[in-house]
Structure 1
Amino acid sequence: MREINLDQLRTLTTIADCGSFVEAARRLHLAPPTISLHISELEGRVGARLLSRTRGQVRPTAIGESLVDHARRLLADVSRVLEDVSRQAQGLSGRVRLGASTGVIANFLPQALEKLAQSHPGIDVQIAILTSHQSLQRLKAGSLDIGIVALPQAKVAGLAIDAWRRDPVLAFLPANWRVPSRVTPQWMARQSLILNGPGTHLSRLTRDWFAHAGQSPVPRIALDYNDAIKSLVGAGYGATLLPHEAGAAPPGDGRMAMRPLRPALWRELGLAYRASAAEPATAHMLSSLRSLGQA
């Protein structure tokens, strides 16, 4: 036996609204025999009469009224679903899953999300704190849409990785320390250090900076939360090496000073996403992020 379909339910509700097979056929742009067939199939599936004629007007039976009520709710739900999917297809709404480090989330995402909200307020961005490796793995698995990752990265099949930003790494120091105008690895290695924990891209970057000068200092403490590191520097606990985003204001903590490095060191970031055509919501988020880049 054939299942009930939406066309049959729409025919039933239209007849209930206008009280006529002929008028229902006109409104639905269907031939009268098709209207009759829809009702016949519905009645056969339900096992009861759904319509009756009273003084020349067609009206639902008691069972028909019950089915009409359910049909109206179902058709309304379908209409809302289609409208929601259509808005997502047009990029007016949707969801974007984004992964990044805590530093990137704190320093860049507020600006990107503000720009996105101005043009596409219906897009929901879900943010996860992830390392570059974790972001690439989730992108490959399909559980992430955009990853902000440290560069360079090896090519990953199915993923695109675009250069995005290049920001200097600076020395962050207690303001009451006597420091040179430019900080070298040799000078920095003699200080108490608070550095990023092993396994992060920034940790490898700073380790190589020291190693090229023949230095291999052991940090006093290793953390992966840059704001916590800066707080400890401001408290005089030690010095650190952290990226400073181009154009960003100096730290508001007057207990902390910044100095450029010699040789200079740069932190590069990229935008990773699946190479296949991005959904509109993801494309809009990428556009907002790219507006903040200067790679």
Structure 2
Amino acid sequence: MRELNLDQLRTLVTIADLGTFSAAAGALHLAQPTVSLHVSELESRLGAALVVRGGRRVLPTAIGAVLIERARRLLRDADDTLDAVKRHVEGRVGRVRLGTSTGVVVNLLPRVLKEMERAFPEIDVEVSILGSSETMARLEQGTLDIGLVATPMAKPRGIVVSHWRSDPMVAYLPAQWKAPKKVSAEWLAAKPLIFNDASTQMYRLTMEWFAAAGCSPRARIELNYTEAMKSLVAAGYGAAVLPLEHAVKVELSKMQGIRVVPLAPALLRHVGVAHRSASTLDQATRNVLDTIAQFRQA
């Protein structure tokens, strides 16, 4: 026997619910002969009558009632399957793998994730804490979907990078230190320093700033966790050069033991959004990218 036809099963169920062929035809937007044909073909395939015709209301036979009960479940499963696939196609559900640095995770990414939870609660954004170079490598390998990376930097073939934001780099100093209104590389190089890990883009950016002034300072400690660096500053261990994001500015009054001073000359940390070619992205990834774009600097 050939496989059952879902359209024919839906017709049979609708007849049972509404009681007549004509009412089912109207509800399904079918011609009445088509409704009759659907039932006749089902009966022919099963070799049994499914409905009792001739009365004011069409009633199912005993075999018809068994089929209608099973058909309701099949149709629900089919509708659920189509809805699940549609939600994936529309990007309302899915898993998106995102790589970013610790600084972005602490101050910027939470706002993005909060908006994602509001707009797309069924998209799971899986976050990996990585340096920009490793993020780029994993995008090329296909083990990440999106990266928030320091720019400029070399990008692999097939990877697109667009500007997201630029934040000023500032000196985080122990509150008890006496300092000018703006600190120079020469002034800062004479102090104990806390640097980002030497493998990071932040380290490269900071050292280029010092080198432009003819300075080559050494750090007391190098680590790749922004909040830990700030804690060491607050403890008086040394000074750090870190980005000052807008979200951090609001929190400055709550930072105990730290003084934030602008750099002279000014220095900016640029962050870009990296991903594979748009034509290869699923809609869930596109939705995450659209949400990230909402927090792009004007």
The Cα shift of 1:195 comes to 1.6
Would the aligned equivalents of 2:136 and 2:155 in 1 still touch at CA under 8 Å?
Answer: no
Which residue matches 1:51? Answer: 50
User: Which amino acid letter does the alignment assign opposite residue 3 of structure 1?
Assistant: E
User: Which amino acid letter does the alignment assign opposite residue 295 of structure 2?
Assistant: L
The Cα shift of 1:27 comes to 3.4
Which residue matches 2:102? Answer: 102
d(CA) in 2 for partners of 1:67 and 1:198? 70
d(CA) in 1 for partners of 2:153 and 2:41? 61
The Cα shift of 1:109 comes to 2.8
Would the aligned equivalents of 1:123 and 1:281 in 2 still touch at CA under 8 Å?
Answer: no
Which residue matches 1:73? Answer: 73
Which residue matches 2:199? Answer: 199
One of 247, 253, 256 as aligned partner of 2:255: 253
- 3-state secondary structure, aligned to 1:72: helix
Which residue matches 1:29? Answer: 29
CA-atom RMSD, angstroms? 3.5
Which residue matches 1:165? Answer: 165
Instruction: Specify every segment of 5 or more residues in structure 2 that has no aligned partner in the other structure, as ranges.
Output: none
| Pair 1:238 & 2:241 matched | no
| Alignment CA distance shift 1:137-1:73 (3 Å) | farther
| Pair 1:188 & 2:188 matched | yes
Which residue matches 2:295? Answer: 292
Would the aligned equivalents of 2:95 and 2:124 in 1 still touch at CA under 8 Å?
Answer: yes
Q: TM-score, normalised by structure 2?
A: 0.78
Which residue matches 2:223? Answer: 223
* Larger deviation, residues 278-287 vs 20-29: 278-287
CA deviations on 1:57-94 (whole Å, 9 max, x unpaired) are 54334443333223223323443454566567667x44
d(CA) in 1 for partners of 2:135 and 2:77? 36
d(CA) in 1 for partners of 2:160 and 2:237? 41
Structure 2 counterparts to residues 76-87 of structure 1, below 5 A: 76-83=76-83
- 3-state secondary structure, aligned to 1:129: strand
| Alignment CA distance shift 1:189-1:79 (3 Å) | same
User: Which amino acid letter does the alignment assign opposite residue 222 of structure 2?
Assistant: A
Would the aligned equivalents of 2:138 and 2:144 in 1 still touch at CA under 8 Å?
Answer: yes
d(CA) in 2 for partners of 1:12 and 1:134? 58
| Alignment CA distance shift 1:161-1:251 (3 Å) | farther
d(CA) in 1 for partners of 2:93 and 2:115? 16
d(CA) in 2 for partners of 1:264 and 1:292? 23
Would the aligned equivalents of 1:173 and 1:239 in 2 still touch at CA under 8 Å?
Answer: yes
d(CA) in 2 for partners of 1:145 and 1:53? 58
CA deviations on 1:257-291 (whole Å, 9 max, x unpaired) are 12222333221011223442566665554444334
Q: TM-score, normalised by structure 1?
A: 0.79
The Cα shift of 1:167 comes to 1.2
d(CA) in 2 for partners of 1:126 and 1:291? 16
d(CA) in 2 for partners of 1:220 and 1:241? 13
User: Which amino acid letter does the alignment assign opposite residue 289 of structure 1?
Assistant: I
CA deviations on 1:168-205 (whole Å, 9 max, x unpaired) are 11111111123344333344334332221232211221
| Alignment CA distance shift 1:273-1:234 (3 Å) | same
* Larger deviation, residues 161-170 vs 142-151: 142-151
Which residue matches 1:148? Answer: 148
